[in-house]
Amino acid sequence: MKRRPLLAGNWKMHTTVAEAHALAVEIGKCSEGLDDRDVILAPPFTSIHEVASVLKDSCVEVVAQNVCWEEQGAFTGEISPLMLKEAGVTSVIIGHSERRQIFSEDHELINKRMLGALKYDLKPIFCIGETLAEREGSKTFTVLEEQLKGGLAGLSLRDMQKTVIAYEPVWAIGTGKTATKEQAQEAHAFIRKLLSEMYEKDIADTIRILYGGSVKPDNVDELMAQSDIDGALVGGAALDAESFCRIINFI
């Protein structure tokens, strides 16, 4: 089944407002005419409103890098779904490996964020992936299953129709190492099969699964040629307009 490609740029904790403005302008230009794929950008919270304003007449959507499950309250350092929607956000990244590894977010907390985002009609981009030790210990599939079942607990069929999955092998994020196209396809196929067992095949066949982990202009074409890879979650290369423009214009 052919699914609509989705190319996402995650700027992480990079770019001032001025830098974000300039980068968004360039990406907006090179996305003109792309009507067969979706392009989204996740700038820092401080730049969301600016980037959304720059891209308001383009095909590029603006998403957030995280979200709280409550609309307001005593949650210092968090950001509410209503604040994000007011700033122009449509989707949110949840469960990124850096949130799991650096900030110790567990399945329960990630699941709360998932359910909170959906409650307020924000579409989740749910990230999963194994560490190098887990891959070398032949635990990849076990880890992916635990993360999927933990993070998606309580999500309905309707919720899943709004959800994107991103497979990010932790050992390939920001390291310059990339899973081979065969390794990436194998993981994506496993994820889709598990989703069909957790929900139903028709749902699993329509869910977009992105690959994240040192995606670059010179490997995006072969990754996107794989049958179960529906897009890319791009980090470092998304901070360079020329590189990201080549990625979103993959062949």
Q: 147 with 106: CB under 8 angstroms?
A: no
Active centre residues (catalytic)? 96, 168
- How many C-alpha atoms does 36 have within 13 Å on its Cβ side? 4
At how many degrees (to 10) do helices 241-248 and 17-30 cross?
40
| Largest interatomic CA distance in the chain | 48
H/E run at residue 93: strand 91-94
Contact 127, 96 (CB under 8 A): yes
Alpha-carbon gap, residue 206 to 214, rounded angstroms: 25
The torsion defined by the Cα of 218, 221, 226 and 228, in degrees rounded to 10, comes to: 100
